[in-house]
Chain A
Amino acid sequence: MGLGFEGYVVQVVHGLVYGMLLFLVASGLTLVFGMMGVLNMAHASFYMLGAYVAYTLSAFLGSFWLSLLICPLLVGLLGVVIERFFLRKAYGGGHSSQLLLTFGFFFIFGELVRLIWGGAPLSVPAPAILAGDIQIGRLTYPVYRLFILLFSMLVLAGMVLLLTKTRIGIIIRAAVTDADMVGVLGANVPVVLMSVFGAGAALAALAGVIAAPFSSMYPNMGADALLDCFVVIVLGGFGSLYGAFIASLMIGELQSFGILWIPRLALVFQFLLMAVVLIVRPTGLFGEKE
Chain B
Amino acid sequence: MKRLPVRPIAWVLFAAFLVLLPYLFREIRVHIAIEVLIYALFAVSFNLLFGYTGLLPFGHAGFFGVGAYGAALIISHFPGMPLLATLLISTVAGFVAAIVIGAVCVRLSGAYFALISLSFQMFLFAIAYEWRSVTNGDDGMSIARPDLYLPFLGKISLQNFSNLYYLTIILVALGILGCYLFLKTPLGNAIICVREKDVRASFLGYNVFRVKLTAFAAAGLMAGLAGGLYAIYQEVVATTCIDNNMSMIPVLMVVIGGSSYFLGPVLGAAFYVVFQDWFSSMTGYWMIVMGGIFIVIILYAQGGLVSLFAPEKGWRWRKEHESDIEGA
Contacts and interface: CB of A to CB of B under 8 A. Distances in A.
Interface of A: 33, 36-39, 86, 89-90, 92-97, 99-101, 103-105, 107-108, 111-112, 114-115, 223, 227, 230-231, 234, 238, 264-265, 267-268, 271-272, 274-275, 278-279, 282, 290
A267 B107 CA distance: 24
Interface residues of B, number: 46
B114 A95 contact: no
B104 interface: yes
B141 to A, nearest CB: 19
A238 B299 contact: no
B324 A108 contact: no
Say what secondary structure dominates the interface of chain A.
helix
Interface stretch (B157-165, B203-211, B227-235, B287-295): B287-295
Contacts of A36: 327
Given A101-B295, A279-B116, 8 more contacts: A94-B321, A97-B298, A103-B251, A104-B295, A108-B287, A227-B118, A274-B119, A275-B123
B236 interface: no
A92 B317 contact: yes
Contact of A93 (B111, B126, B322): B322
A217 B262 CA distance: 42
Contacts of A112: 288
A105 B123 contact: no
B41 interface: no
Interface of B: 56, 104, 107-108, 110-112, 114-116, 118-120, 122-123, 126-127, 129-130, 244, 248, 251-252, 255, 285, 287-288, 290-292, 294-295, 298-299, 302, 317-319, 321-328
A96 B285 contact: no
Say what secondary structure dominates the interface of chain B.
helix
Contacts of A97: 298, 302, 321
Given A39-B327, A94-B324, A275-B123, A99 B114 contact: yes
A61 to B, nearest CB: 27
Contacts of B123: 268, 271-272, 275
7 contacts: A36-B327, A97-B321, A101-B295, A112-B288, A227-B244, A238-B111, A271-B123
